[in-house]
Every structure is written in structure tokens, then in C-alpha cells.
Structure 1
């Protein structure tokens, strides 16, 4: 049985892409051992690829008051709420690895209020989901609920920006019918084999 296409839009050949995009994809492939389908699907439009990943990196790869695992939790929870299978699977794999917890991604994707997370993480995800689903209802009380957990105003910006950016990502992925890589399903669930 052949694999379904990874996107309803054409996937360019890596060797035909502009050098900067080709190098970025090859670096990801070298690190991960495969090319996540989002890189191939977004390469259909090089200018948008560059803008998308520049903002992604600005949010997800910087030093901030949010840990790498907390940032991934936001992605997984909001992507679950937006029914984005690709982002739940891809970022769920990253979350399992960053949190060193094989159970956390599934729990957070389905219902963070029933997940084995701490009060800080719950408050963060409550806010992120409100941004994702009902941003027009944000009020001062929502900020005040975060301060006792050690979040600064800059951290709150990061929570909101990650939720908003992945709202865009979720919608793009769903409209493209982007398929998740098979590799994501097992990543971070089982211990790595000894080298």
C-alpha cells in the first residue's frame, strides 16, 4: 500500500529549492534523521517558508522565562484544541523528549486539566487556550492569574504569541491536509537504544 501524499499541494524536490531553504532542510534532516513534512510542504512557497520559520524560531528557540518543555506544552494543548493532528504529533514528540515524560503529550493534547502537570503549567495552558479559542475575552484577571506562578509580562507575551502563531500553523496544516511523519509516533515514548 502506498503512503498518502504529505500535502494536497505540490512538494518541491529539495535539490530544486533556493540554497538557504535547502540548507535549512538538510540541517534538520541531519539532526532528526528525517525531514519533517512541514518543511517540505511549506517549501512550496519559499518566501512564506522563510517568514514562517523565522517567527517559529524567534518564539521557540530563544532564552526566556518559559522552558523549552513549557513552550512545547503550549503548542500541544492549543493544537489539540484546534484539531491539528500534525502539530499534536510532531510537537508531542518534541514535548515527550524535552519533558523526559512519555505520557505528558497525550494528556496535554486531550485535556490539560486532567494531565499530570503542576499548577504553573496548568495556569499557563489555561491562558494559552483562552488566547487560542477566545482571545477577545482576555481581561486583567487572566494576567493576574499568571503572576503568582512566576510569569512576567514578557513571559505572558510569549505564551500568547506561541498560542497565536500555532493557531496560524494549525489552520495552514489542516487546510493543506498535511500528513504527519510516521517517525513522530514513537519518538520520546521508548528509551533510546544504547549506541
Structure 2
């Protein structure tokens, strides 16, 4: 049971968005820009960063959601997402993405944990300044989203089909709801 009466059966952040549409708008807009906007990192890679950070934060709802969103947009699907979440260093991903995930993990601990060595390692693997910037911002934003969801004790469904359905919606429509939609 959430810590506040959100008057919605929607799980996780979706219920909070119904509760507070005025905060939902800018948060959805931020997610849209970070995870779906023009970028040299694919949408699947950016969703993978979100899922990875959410997993490190132990946020069940955001981890399951963004794992499904990443899997729906990566050719290797959920097996790759699960490998990255279990062992990013040993997962079959590019060295650049591995270096960016190391930066994301540092952000999850503290922004001050992002060292020049981590940044230089990512650059040596071909990461651009924009990719490094966006990785830091995705990781920081998901620390906030995770704390918002868990801090209000929202519901996280156990059924993977719930997240797969949400993934279809996000992949097709994005994060910014059309007029009349609640999420």
C-alpha cells in the first residue's frame, strides 16, 4: 500500500503520475528526451542504462519496467538485459557501453564517484562527450525516479506481462502522453 492515497490502481510511477499530473508532465518530458530523443546511443542502450541503475538501486518497478523497455529495443532482448544486470563486466556488450555502465554505476553511488579515469576510459572506447553527459544524466535521473517510486512505496507487479505490455506502449508512443491519456 503506497504511503499516500494515490487513488489509482496503476503501479509504480504510473500511479504517482495519476496522483500528480503537474509533476508527471516534466518528468515524462525528461524521460522522453533522455531515453528516446536523438542520440548516438540507441534507445535500447539508454533504456539498458536506466534498467541497470534501477537494479543497483533495487527499485523493483523501475528495474522491471526499463528492463522490458530495453529488451523490446535490443536485438538480443531480455537475455542480454539479464546478463548485463547480473555481470556488466562479463556481458556481451561493446567496450564503450561497458565503460558507460561503469560511469552510470559510479553516479548511482555518488556523482563524486565519477572520476577522470572513468571518463577517459569511456573516451578511449569511443564514447563522445554527449554520450558521457547523457549517461550521467540518465543515471542521476533514475536515482531520482527510483527514490520517488520506492519512497512512496508504490506497487510493483510480479507479472512480467505487465511490463511487456508497458514496453509495447512506450516503444510505440513514447513517454509523453497524448491529450486525454493518463500516462
The two structures have a TM-score, normalised by structure 1, of 0.74
- Is residue 2:142 matched to residue 1:166? yes
Give yes or no for contact 2:44–2:70 (8 Å, CA) kept in 1. yes
Most deviating of 36-45 and 133-142: 36-45
Most deviating of 151-160 and 40-49: 40-49
State the distance in 2 between where 1:63 and 1:36 align.
Answer: 29
1:158-180 C-alpha deviation (Å, 9 max, x unpaired): 00000000000011111122223
Give yes or no for contact 1:132–1:167 (8 Å, CA) kept in 2. yes
State the distance in 2 between where 1:78 and 1:186 align.
Answer: 19
1:57 counterpart SS class: helix
Most deviating of 159-168 and 44-53: 44-53
State the distance in 2 between where 1:13 and 1:133 align.
Answer: 32
Q: Which residue of 1 aligns with 2:96?
A: 120
Q: Which residue of 1 aligns with 2:51?
A: 76
1:131 counterpart SS class: helix
Q: Which residue of 2 aligns with 1:85?
A: 60
Q: Which residue of 2 aligns with 1:57?
A: 32
Q: Which residue of 1 aligns with 2:19?
A: 44
State the distance in 2 between where 1:103 and 1:185 align.
Answer: 15
1:102 counterpart SS class: helix
1:146 counterpart SS class: helix
State the distance in 2 between where 1:164 and 1:88 align.
Answer: 15
5+ long unaligned stretches in structure 1: 15-34, 188-195
5+ long unaligned stretches in structure 2: 166-183
- After superposition, residues 107-186 of structure 1 pair within 5 angstroms as 107-181=83-157, 182=159, 183-184=161-162
Most deviating of 51-60 and 84-93: 51-60
The two structures have a TM-score, normalised by structure 2, of 0.78
TM-aligned CA deviation for residue 54 of structure 1: 1.5
Give yes or no for contact 2:54–2:146 (8 Å, CA) kept in 1. yes
Give yes or no for contact 1:95–1:104 (8 Å, CA) kept in 2. no
Tell me which stretches of 4 or more aligned residues in structure 1 moved more than 6 Å: none
1:89-132 C-alpha deviation (Å, 9 max, x unpaired): 00111111111323122222233123232212211101111111
State the distance in 1 between where 2:110 and 2:12 align.
Answer: 29
Count, aligned residues: 163
Most deviating of 56-65 and 176-185: 176-185
State the distance in 1 between where 2:148 and 2:106 align.
Answer: 20
1:16-40 C-alpha deviation (Å, 9 max, x unpaired): xxxxxxxxxxxxxxxxxxx764223
- Is residue 2:26 matched to residue 1:11? no
